[in-house]
């Protein structure tokens, strides 16, 4: 993340800067707590050994773990927290037992914005972590439990603030003027449970921007929630992307929030999104890029099945290969892309 951009945000919007810092620190702390809880029972057994250490391979065999690289990632987090020490990737040495009371004390230091978004994922992520270590692949994104958890998270301030930043960054009022005040066609791509779609709708109404708003997702479960919670009250057309593709050359704007790190081929996804835009249309939204500050969030989404955040250069490449210009703010992770003339 650009230090210059962060300092710029601190000067321009101190309140938003504080939220950003709280979110970064909070997710780092909370993710470490989840890892400690997940491996608490297995590691505390090492305390029963005379030297309180065990060969890594033996530790894996005892616990039916198969993913050594992931285990080393997780143990490295616990090493920084003072629970274990790793010696040449060969031995796990328990420095102190993982006690629930201590974890609860640490949890009290986590910013509310983080707990609001991710606390519901705690138990699920602990189970997912063990399953990944055992070599079990991630559950379907549309599993009943996971879709309920995402619905909770998407309603929280963690994602609401990101979407607000993106809507302001896109300057949709200028797009409306360029469209001679004809309704702009907007697609919320990867709409989830529709909470963000309603936020877009509210923003457009507040700005008096004429619009036709559609939304799509691949999750049948989240779309069911959207239809029940949102579509019956608002004039929004929700559809399943697996069953129906958007019209090519149809939309003035497409919004996409934290979606591009999920598909196997993000370059192809950007290509598809570009094809749905009018010649002067815009593709905008939010996409985190990888940094040490976001390592724990990146780990979290990988455990749930995502490919992980891209490096910033990789993010730019996705658009360059599709002949698109892109502006990106690494402080808020908002972006705006247009077709090259």
Domains annotated for the chain, with CATH where assigned, are: 3-137 (1.10.10), 153-339 (3.40.50.150)
Would you state the torsion angle of the CA atoms of residues 99, 124, 121, 201, taken in this order, to the nearest 10 degrees?
A: 180
As a residue count, the chain comes to 341
- Residue closest to 274 by CA, chosen among 262, 261, 264, 260: 260
The Cα–Cα gap between 301 and 323 comes to 29
CA distance 301 to 35: 14
Within 13 A of 151's CA, how many CA atoms are on the CB side?
A: 21
Tokens found for residue 226: 């959207």
Which residues are CB-neighbours of 260 under 8 A, at least 6 positions away? 266, 269, 270, 287, 310, 315, 318
Distance CA 250, CA 122 (A): 41
Element (H, E) at 262: none
**Residue 233 burial (C-beta neighbours within 10 Å; 0-12, 13-18, 19+):** exposed
Is the pLDDT at 7 greater than 60? The verdict is no
Answer positive or negative: Cα dihedral of 207, 189, 124, 64.
negative
Q: What pLDDT shows up at residue 230?
A: 55
Checking if the pLDDT of 67 tops 80, the result is yes
**Average pLDDT of the chain?**
88
Tell me the pLDDT tens digit for each residue of 105-163: 999 999 998 888 888 888 989 999 999 999 999 877 666 667 777 777 777 888 899 99
d(CA 6, CA 270): 27
* 3-state SS, residue 190: coil
Contact 220, 146 (CB under 8 A): no
Mean pLDDT throughout 330-337?
93
pLDDT given for residue 1 in this prediction: 47
Name which of 248, 244, 240, 242 is nearest 273 in CA terms. 248
pLDDT of the residue at 172: 94
Rounded Cα gap, residues 319 and 337, in angstroms? 8
Residue 223 pLDDT exceeds 70: yes
Note the pLDDT tens digit of each residue in 232-253: 566 788 999 999 999 999 999 9
pLDDT tens digit sequence for 160-197: 999 999 999 999 999 998 888 789 999 999 998 888 99
pLDDT on residue 236: 84
Residue, of 138 and 265, whose pLDDT is higher:
265
Residue 253 or 306, more confident? 253
189 vs 187: CA distance, rounded Å: 6
Q: Which of 11-25, 179-193, 313-327 has the highest mean pLDDT?
A: 313-327
pLDDT score of 40: 95
pLDDT of residue 229: 65
For the segment 79-101, the average pLDDT, to the nearest whole number, is 89
pLDDT reported for residue 211: 93
What average pLDDT does the segment 13-20 reach? 70
pLDDT exceeds 70 at position 76? yes
């Amino acid at each position: 993340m650009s230090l210059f951009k962060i300092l710029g945000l601190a000067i321009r919007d101190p309140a938003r800067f504080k939220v950003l810092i709280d979110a970064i620190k909070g997710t780092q702390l909370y993710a470490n707590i989840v890892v400690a809880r997940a491996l608490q029972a297995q590691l505390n057994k090492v305390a029963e050994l005379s030297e309180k250490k065990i060969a890594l391979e033996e530790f894996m065999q005892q616990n039916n773990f198969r993913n050594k690289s992931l285990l080393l990632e997780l143990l490295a987090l616990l090493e920084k927290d003072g629970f274990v020490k790793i010696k040449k990737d060969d031995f796990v040495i328990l420095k102190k037992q993982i006690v629930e009371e201590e974890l609860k004390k640490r949890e009290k230091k986590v910013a509310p914005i983080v707990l609001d978004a991710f606390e519901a994922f705690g138990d699920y992520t602990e189970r997912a972590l063990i399953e990944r270590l055992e070599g079990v692949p991630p559950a379907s994104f549309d599993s009943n439990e996971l879709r309920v958890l995402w619905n909770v998270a998407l309603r929280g301030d963690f994602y609401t603030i990101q979407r607000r930043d993106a809507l302001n960054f896109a300057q949709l009022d200028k797009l409306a003027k360029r469209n001679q005040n004809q309704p702009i066609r907007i697609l919320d791509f990867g709409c989830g449970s529709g909470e963000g779609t309603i936020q877009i709708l509210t923003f457009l109404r507040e700005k008096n921007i004429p619009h036709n708003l559609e939304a799509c997702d691949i999750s049948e479960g989240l779309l069911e929630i959207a239809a029940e919670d949102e579509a019956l009250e608002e004039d929004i057309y929700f559809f399943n992307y697996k069953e129906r593709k958007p019209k090519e050359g149809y939309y003035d704007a497409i919004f996409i929030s934290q979606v591009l790190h999920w598909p196997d081929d993000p370059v192809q996804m950007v290509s598809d999104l570009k094809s749905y835009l009018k010649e002067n249309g815009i593709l905008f939204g939010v996409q985190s890029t990888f940094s040490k500050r976001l390592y724990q969030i990146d780990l979290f989404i990988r455990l749930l099945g995502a490919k992980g955040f891209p490096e910033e250069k990789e993010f730019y490449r996705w658009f360059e290969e599709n002949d698109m210009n892109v502006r990106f703010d690494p402080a808020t992770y908002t972006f705006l892309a247009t077709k090259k003339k």
